[in-house]
Amino acid sequence: MTIQFNDETFHDDYTFRNSDWAIQRFPFPFHEDSYMYSVNLEPHLSLRPGSVYEKTFDVDEHYVAEMKDRARVLAEDPLRCQSLPHMTLAGWDLLELIMVSKAREYPDLFELHRDGDRWHWINKPLGIEQKFVFLDETTLPCGPLEYITRQAQGDYALLDQRDDNLWMDAGMVTTQADWSLDFDIGMNFFEWHAPVPMASELGVFQRALKFLLNLQQGAPVRRLNWTMTVNPLLDTSPENYHKWGVQKTALTPENVGSKQHLRVELQTLFRLPRSNALAFPIRCYLIRLEDLVTVPKWGRRLHRVLRDLPEELATYKGFIRNRPMIVEYLSQFDDGTPTSPGVFPD
């Protein structure tokens, strides 16, 4: 399969678009007509050829444009990529995982040639060719975490495991749903999740942590998370919230279908072999509502989920002010008929 990469932006003029292919494979996150927090982890096994769940790290038509957007955000704010001193080895683990997976699963796009610790990496879509010595930082233009995540869609956190907890001690974060790596780096699992409402009371974090502490090599897991974003803005960071927050007020009944996006994170977790850290990729997918409703089941279901969502969650996810307008828009696409179980289109 050859991917046609889009020439598009995720800021200012927002030329981002999903092709019909991207719409059909969008990771719609609701398996039923209502939503509440849950651990919802499942094995990250290859599922449905062509879906975002098929490959270890999904590469799609937005790859090149997303990497340009990452470079732009990093140039403005280098603190979006940080690694505490003890996390370099985990960075190498991640580099290996991504390079090996991509070269195996997308041989037409990526090549990795290894001769002992002398590695040769070819990234055709980005026009990058790099010879380096594995585990020797001086042979890369920057640290291993930054190097590989400038070439991989989605945010990446590296979680150190000690004292029966997970510690967010490194990351590359430029496509986040309003959390700050610079503020949260060094926090444990409970601390960085502290601002999330309701989930603590449900015991979600305790169960999730217990599960993740026992995650085994070669047995990655995945889950979906979601929120709502006005305009296809990848960098909804707290750092820049004073600049992008006002965009939420630009929504009107006329433009809600094109400006309002459902934002879905495909979160995966991998045990890393040398560092025993966890890699935590958080891949962001955006879809405008008018594209989403072309799948009738999704339009009906999203209407019901957003209409019935507890107010605390709509507030935390940042769309409480626009919820009435969004629900009104979606109601046109909900004829009240039942929806089939599961996330995929009928």
Give counts: helices (H), strands (E), the chain.
13, 10
**Residue 168, SS3 per DSSP:** strand
Catalytic status, residue 223 = yes
Residue from 180, 255, 294, 315 touching other proteins (CB under 8 A): that is 180
The burial class, CB within 10 Å (0-12 / 13-18 / 19+), for 300 is: buried
Q: With respect to other proteins, which residue has the nearer C-beta, 15 or 249?
A: 249
Q: How far is the CB of 203 from other proteins (least distance, A)?
A: 13
Q: How far is the CB of 196 from other proteins (least distance, A)?
A: 9
Site for other proteins in 20-49 (CB under 8 A): none
Q: How far is the CB of 43 from other proteins (least distance, A)?
A: 28
Angle, vertex CA 40, rays to CA 36 and CA 42, nearest 5: 160
Q: Number of residues interacting with other proteins: please give it, by CB under 8 A.
A: 27
Q: Which window, 94-102, 118-126, 241-249, 304-312, contacts other proteins (CB under 8 A)?
A: 241-249
Tokens 């960098």: give the residue. Answer: 235
Residue from 36, 321, 328, 332 touching other proteins (CB under 8 A): that is 321
> Among residues 223, 263, 274, 304, which one is catalytic?
223
**Residue 91, SS3 per DSSP:** helix
Residue 296 in the binding site for other proteins (CB under 8 A): no
Comparing CA positions, the residue from 227, 225, 185, 242 lying closest to residue 315 is 227
Residue 213 in the binding site for other proteins (CB under 8 A): no
Residue from 33, 105, 184, 290 touching other proteins (CB under 8 A): that is 184
Residue from 186, 223, 296, 325 touching other proteins (CB under 8 A): that is 186
Separation of CA 314 from chain center: 20
- DSSP type of residue 39: -
> Strands, DSSP E only, in the chain?
42-43, 81-83, 110-115, 118-123, 128-133, 155-162, 165-172, 221-230, 260-271, 278-288
Residue 249 in the binding site for other proteins (CB under 8 A): yes
| Interface with other proteins (CB under 8 A) | 79, 180, 182-187, 190-195, 200, 238-246, 248-249, 321
* Residues labelled catalytic: 223
